[in-house]
């Protein structure tokens, strides 16, 4: 892959106003870093120019991965194939099939699939496209990164809720359930965490808040118009959001789901990606010290 993964990245660039995994140049306290991660700049400038685009999406923070450039192409190809098979299979076996789209899990899977398509196409574009203007336009990059943010955070919500609250060891789990509620998200998380330099900040919870708000609004509309679904559900998709049963409790649950849970989920992701930066700091500093000793 024709990507110089070792190219140094500057802290700030005129065409790229937010940092790209280079916060490590200045050590900051945990709470100062947390406060700064709420800066709206990190959300409003989600694009990269020619200097950074390939490095962000087709290189890793870790040199040991960059030594095997074909891993980006192979991994994303396999992830794309697995996800499209799981998606098609899930739709085909859904009964009734028209209800597939109403579930939060399936909407998350669809968004994840779209994000994976972007990752898949980017990798092939970097490897095989030889024309000019290889970098997508800003609005395309916005769509790509917003899909990634929603996929990572919403997918983590699905995983945690299913395995902590809904999983029943007695009930047999089918492969599609395991894929939809964990495996696909984990594989995509590995892609973003290990095979990109894309940073995650606390302010990135806003796309997730909008997404879960729209789903909450959808749930409320279902209740208002008393839409009927399979298994004798009238006015609700999930029992936890059945306003017919204890409206006050369900309202509190909906508020927590829309406004509290996205912040908590992004806090978890921010810490994970902050850890990645911290590890990269050590690697970068050791490399710089080694180079300095050699020059001396």
Count up the domains in the chain and report the number: 1
Helix (H, G, I), strand (E, B) or coil at 233: strand
Say if 199 falls within a structural domain: yes
Say if 13 falls within a structural domain: no
Say if 8 falls within a structural domain: no
Alpha helices in 37-69 (DSSP H): 41-44, 53-57, 63-66
Can the peptide bond before residue 96 be classed as cis, meaning omega within 30 degrees of 0? yes
How far is the C-alpha of 293 from the C-alpha of 281, rounded, in Å? 18
Say if 142 falls within a structural domain: yes
Say if 257 falls within a structural domain: yes
Say if 98 falls within a structural domain: yes
The residue segments making up the domain with residue 202 are 25-295
User: Do the beta carbons of residue 88 and residue 34 sit within 8 Å?
Assistant: no
pLDDT (tens, 9 = 90+) of the chain, 296 residues, equals: 445 544 444 434 434 444 555 544 456 789 999 998 998 888 888 888 877 888 889 999 888 999 999 999 999 999 999 999 999 999 999 999 999 999 999 999 999 999 999 999 999 998 888 766 789 999 999 999 999 999 999 999 999 999 999 998 888 888 999 999 999 999 999 999 999 999 899 999 999 999 999 999 999 999 999 999 999 999 999 999 999 888 999 999 999 999 999 999 999 999 999 988 777 655 555 444 443 443 33
Say if 192 falls within a structural domain: yes
Say if 197 falls within a structural domain: yes
User: Do the beta carbons of residue 187 and residue 237 sit within 8 Å?
Assistant: no
């Amino acid at each position: 892959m024709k990507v110089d993964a070792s190219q140094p990245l500057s802290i700030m660039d005129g065409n790229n106003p937010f940092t790209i995994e280079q916060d490590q140049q200045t050590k900051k306290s945990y709470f100062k870093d947390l406060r700064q991660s709420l800066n709206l700049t990190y959300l409003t400038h989600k694009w990269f120019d020619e200097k950074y685009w390939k490095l962000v999406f087709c290189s890793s923070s870790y040199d040991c991965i960059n030594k095997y450039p074909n891993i980006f192409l192979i991994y994303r190809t396999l992830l794309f194939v697995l996800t499209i098979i799981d998606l098609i299979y899930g739709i085909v076996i859904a009964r009734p099939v028209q209800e597939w789209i109403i579930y939060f899990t399936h909407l998350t899977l669809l968004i994840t699939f779209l994000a994976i398509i972007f990752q898949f196409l980017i990798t092939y574009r970097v490897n095989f496209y030889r024309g000019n203007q290889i970098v997508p336009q800003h609005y395309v990059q916005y769509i790509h990164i917003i899909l990634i943010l929603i996929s990572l955070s919403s997918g983590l919500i699905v995983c945690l809720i299913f395995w902590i609250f809904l999983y029943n060891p007695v009930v047999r789990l089918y492969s599609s359930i395991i894929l939809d509620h964990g495996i696909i998200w984990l594989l995509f998380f590995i892609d973003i965490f290990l095979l990109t330099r894309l940073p995650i900040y606390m302010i990135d919870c806003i796309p997730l808040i909008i997404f879960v708000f729209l789903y909450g609004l959808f749930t409320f509309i279902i209740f208002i118009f008393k839409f009927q679904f399979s298994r004798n559900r009238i006015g609700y998709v999930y029992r936890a959001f059945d306003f017919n049963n204890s409206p006050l409790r369900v309202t509190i649950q909906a508020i927590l789901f829309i406004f509290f849970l996205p912040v908590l989920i992004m806090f978890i992701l921010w810490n994970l990606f902050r850890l990645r930066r911290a590890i990269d700091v050590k690697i970068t500093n050791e490399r710089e010290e080694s180079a300095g000793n050699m020059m001396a």
